[in-house]
Structure formats: C-alpha cells, structure tokens
Amino acid sequence: EDKVVQSPLSLVVHEGDTVTLNCSYEVTNFRSLLWYKQEKKAPTFLFMLTSSGIEKKSGRLSSILDKKELFSILNITATQTGDSAVYLCAVVEYGNKLVFGAGTILRVKS
C-alpha cells in the first residue's frame, strides 16, 4: 500500500530556531513530491520537487528530495510565530493523484 510518513508529528520551537521536517514515502508510480502549509484554512502550496539533490528555496524555507532514499526534508530557518502551522507532504502518483502524509504540527513560541 502506498504511504507517506512524516516526522515528527509535532514540534514546538522558539522564534529564531531552525527546524527540519521529514517526509519519507513508498509509492508505486512516483511523479513528484509537494509540500503544503496549512493554517486554519486550506493547504497552500510551498514547493514541488521532482529531481533528486536540487534544493528549492523560498525565503527562509528550503526543501530537497532524495529519490534514492525516498525522502524529502523541509527546512525553516529563523522561525517566526507566523510559521506555526501544519506542514503537509504529498506524493504525486500517476494521473496526478496525491497521497498525503499525516502532517507535522509546528508551533513557534515567541
């Protein structure tokens, strides 16, 4: 059965800390991996990763994919309280079907 596993399940840090969120996957027909941030409403897109070893970066957030070891990480540096959210990892299979992980709940304390 296809699955996406995220760790840790939850994390509490202080402002300014750096965090690393993990996503490992086992899927039959891997196309790409997506990271989403979900606050109180709908998930919002962060990154799409398709190639191993190429870092995607957006401000304080960055992400990288390892297709050999079947995992991805999402890094957030100099965290802010506005980074508090659930971070979802999803793998895109054939036909654009997404398989989501359970998410990591991040809370940044001021």
Which residues form the interface with another protein (CB under 8 A)?
31-32, 34, 41-45, 48, 88, 92, 95-103
Distance CA 95, CA 99 (A): 12
Judged by DSSP in three states, 80 sits in: coil
Distance CA 87, CA 83 (A): 10
Residue number, 79 or 101, with CB nearest to another protein: 101
Residue number, 44 or 52, with CB nearest to another protein: 44
Distance CA 75, CA 61 (A): 6
Nearest-approach distance from CB 92 to another protein, in angstroms: 7
Nearest-approach distance from CB 110 to another protein, in angstroms: 26
Q: Pseudo-torsion of CA 101, 56, 19, 100, nearest 10°?
A: 0
Residue number, 76 or 92, with CB nearest to another protein: 92
Nearest-approach distance from CB 95 to another protein, in angstroms: 5
